Structure 1
Amino acid sequence: MRFSYDEIRSGNAVCTLEIDNQTFTFHPAFHTDALGDFVTYLASVHPLCKLSWKDGAFHKTNGGITWRTNPVLTRWEFRRNFEDLQMTITEIQNPMIDEKKNKKLPRKVVTTTCNFNEFVLCVVKELDRLIKRRGLLGYRQAWQTHTFPLDAFLALKHACLYNRPFELTKNHSGTSLEEELVLLMKDID
């Protein structure tokens, strides 16, 4: 299994998912916060990404998320069942680009089940590589409209490394910036 999010430039990116001996490539555009929506959506289905202060810190999105991948829309749906993740990716018509009914859409790209923790780790490793290579401002410069999804990334990374939610400081006024920076710089295997 492999997940990559690369070639980010001028509001376009290339996302590659290798799963079940198949490779799928998507080209999200700047019209949507593709990476931010994806990472936040993944954190919303992760039981350890509640930041210990309330359930639903990353609000669940009913029906998944949609990327604008001109000329179609790419819909991601996750259903977690204990250690399994059912993932469905569907292409649907983008009415802003093509007003004529496309009889080939909607089209299921893939429906598969994989190990939830393995998938999350795969995504977190890619995000870790991405942020360390580009930086926060470098990502913003390349993607233009949206920032790197730092909060969901840190929650997912902490869950992968320590198998528990990110804890608040003792006075419950927030998280520790020092802990967040250490987590951000920590390597993940």
Structure 2
Amino acid sequence: MKFSYMDIRSGNATCVLEINKQKFEFYPTFHSDALGDFVSYVASIHPLCKLSWKDGAFPKMNGGIEWHTGPYLLRWELERDFEDLEITITEIQNPIADRKKNPNFPRTVLRTKCNFDEFVLCIVKELDRVIKQRGILGYRQEWQNYTFPIDGFLALKYACLYQKPFEITKKQSGTSLEEELDLLMKNID
């Protein structure tokens, strides 16, 4: 299994998902916060990212998320069942790009199951690579309107590394910047 988010430039990116011996490429644009929505969506279904956060920090995204990809929208739907994850990716018509009803949509691109923890680990490793390569401000400069999804990333990374939630509510003043920076710089294998 592999998840890559690369070629981030001028509000466009390339996402490659390799799963169950199949490879898929997607091209989200700046018309949606593709990576931010995706990371928040994964965090919203991860049990260790919800326990110590206020309700609504990673709200449940019923119906999935949508990436603008130009001529169509790409809808991601993730359904977690303990250690299993069902992924459904569907292309739907983008009303901004094409107002006439297109009979080819919706079209299911992928429907598969995989191990939830392996999927999350692939995502965290890629996010770790992206932020260490580009930086927080460098990501924003390239992606234009949206910032790197640091909150979801840190929650997911902590869950992967320590198999427990990042306990931000134990301190009255929130988290410690030092703890956050240590987590951000920590390598994940």
Q: Closer, same or farther in 2 for the Cα pair 1:70/1:6, shift >3 Å?
A: same
Q: Which residue number corresponds to residue 150 of structure 2?
A: 150
Q: Is the 8 A contact 2:29 2:68 kept in 1?
A: yes
Moved more, 82-91 or 55-64: 55-64
1:103-159 residue CA offsets vs partner (Å, 9 max, x unmatched): 111000000000000000000000000000000000000001100000000000000
Partner Cα distance (1:102, 1:131) in 2: 38
Quote how far apart the aligned CAs of 1:94 are.
Answer: 0.4
Any idea what SS the aligned residue of 1:48 has? Answer: helix
Task: Give the total of aligned pairs.
Answer: 189
Q: Is the 8 A contact 1:51 1:168 kept in 2?
A: no
Identity %: 71
For structure 1, which runs of at least 5 residues remain unmatched after alignment? Answer: none
Quote how far apart the aligned CAs of 1:23 are.
Answer: 0.6
| Paired AA for residue 46 in structure 2 | H
Partner Cα distance (1:96, 1:84) in 2: 35
For structure 2, which runs of at least 5 residues remain unmatched after alignment? Answer: none
Q: Is the 8 A contact 1:51 1:57 kept in 2?
A: no
| Paired AA for residue 99 in structure 1 | R
Q: Where does structure 1 differ by over 4 angstroms across 4 or more consecutive aligned residues?
A: none
RMSD: 1.1
Q: Is the 8 A contact 1:44 1:59 kept in 2?
A: yes
Q: Which residue number corresponds to residue 126 of structure 1?
A: 126
Q: Which residue number corresponds to residue 28 of structure 2?
A: 28
Partner Cα distance (1:32, 1:71) in 2: 13
Q: TM-score, normalised by structure 2?
A: 0.97
Any idea what SS the aligned residue of 2:48 has? Answer: coil
1:3-152 pair list within 5 angstroms: 3-50=3-50, 52-152=52-152
Partner Cα distance (2:21, 2:170) in 1: 47
Any idea what SS the aligned residue of 1:158 has? Answer: helix
